[in-house]
Amino acid sequence: MSFRLSVLDQSPVCQGSTGAEALRRSVDLARFADTLGYTRYWVAEHHGTPMLAGASPEILIGAIAGATSRIRVGSGGVMLPHYSPLKVAEVFSVLSALHPNRIDLGLGRAAGTDPLTAFALQRDRRQAGPDDFPQQLAELLAYLDDAWPREHRFARLAALPGRPECPTPWLLGSSRDSGRWAAEVGLPYAFADFINPTGAAIARQYREACSRETGRDVPQVIAAVSAICAETDEGAERLAASARMVFTLFHQGQFIQVPSVDTAVRFLDERAGASDALGRRRRMVVGAPDTVRRGLEAVAADYGADEIMIVTITYDHDARRRSYELIASVFGIGSRP
């Protein structure tokens, strides 16, 4: 295997459970991923949905980094349009000071929610927030890199509280714009294949542009992939029914907690056409260990990925743990020196 394996956790809330339980399960899964040998553990940012509890990645990162010892921990990602770049820089500077050489700052442009919730997150509600992500990104990197010109009015603010420690920034995306921005500023790039499974060409263009514009010979690419593994192909397909039901309804504008497998199987049996349409829009690598290994290797080859980051949503937490365990085993990551 020529690529690393990592975890993206969206803190799913199962039907009949609570957000508090989902967050505690995220910490539990992170501890487990640490022992299994995964490279990094990123937590997502979503707002205003009953399905996902991860509304504050910076807080969850601190809890997870404190509960683990080796694995890199980061955001997948911080939705920068909601925040002041200085505040993000300060928060992740503090995290880096407390957990040296282990903190990643994944940055996204998307709202991570619906338009109404995004508006509610704004401090100034007199008008919609500006679409100025490239400027926000440049400002944030100037703080992290201490790159303000000496005469700039913000120059003294780059004396961040956690120095000399600093997070490693990544740019996240699922579109051509994000790949272009990552290349322009020379950042490693994480592409959300689980949102847009047609990103291989974008990743290639990023690599070419990054090498040309920044002189870097080896740009870094993560492909974030939805995957579920069980002992058999049939068992994994049953587990995947819960996520398929959630995203079928999501694309219809309905937001639910992650349903039980039996509920989801009945739903999908009654709506085979909707499930087929979902399959054309979202890729899921599902099956027994060898099936998942082949699927992830194919995605990695398609993207030329240095790393595959796996997002797994199941109704049962033990099934989610077992999925990551089986994938770690089939790739042998826990046995590496």
Give 126's pLDDT tier (boundaries 50, 70, 90): confident
- What are the sequence ranges of the domains in the chain? 4-229+284-335
* Alpha-carbon gap, residue 234 to 261, rounded angstroms: 13
Residue type, 203: A
Position 278 scores a pLDDT of 60
Alpha helices in 171-316 (DSSP H): 176-185, 200-214, 233-250, 261-270, 272-281, 289-303
What value does the mean pLDDT take over residues 4-27? 97
Position 121 scores a pLDDT of 86
Q: Is the pLDDT of residue 276 over 90?
A: no
* Alpha-carbon gap, residue 75 to 6, rounded angstroms: 13
pTM: 0.94
pLDDT, tens digit (0-9, with 9 covering 90-100), for 77-99: 999 999 999 999 999 999 999 99
pLDDT, tens digit (0-9, with 9 covering 90-100), for 173-214: 999 999 999 999 999 999 999 999 999 999 999 998 887 655
Residue 192, strand partner residues: 224
pLDDT, tens digit (0-9, with 9 covering 90-100), for 152-177: 999 999 999 999 999 999 999 999 99
pLDDT, tens digit (0-9, with 9 covering 90-100), for 325-337: 999 999 999 755 4
Position 56 scores a pLDDT of 96
Q: Report the mean per-residue pLDDT for the chain.
A: 92
Q: Is the pLDDT of residue 231 over 80?
A: yes
What value does the mean pLDDT take over residues 134-154? 95
Q: Is the pLDDT of residue 272 over 90?
A: no
19-26 contact pairs (CB < 8 A, 24+): 19/53, 20/53, 22/52, 22/53, 23/53, 23/54, 23/60, 25/317, 26/53, 26/54, 26/60, 26/64
Q: Is the pLDDT of residue 118 over 90?
A: no
Lowest mean pLDDT among 117-131, 133-147, 237-251, 308-322: 117-131
CATH of domain 4-229+284-335: 3.20.20.30
Q: Which residues of 292-303 are buried (b: 16+ CB within 10 A; e: fewer)?
A: bbebbbebbebb
* Alpha-carbon gap, residue 93 to 86, rounded angstroms: 10
- Map tokens 């704004």 to a residue: 122
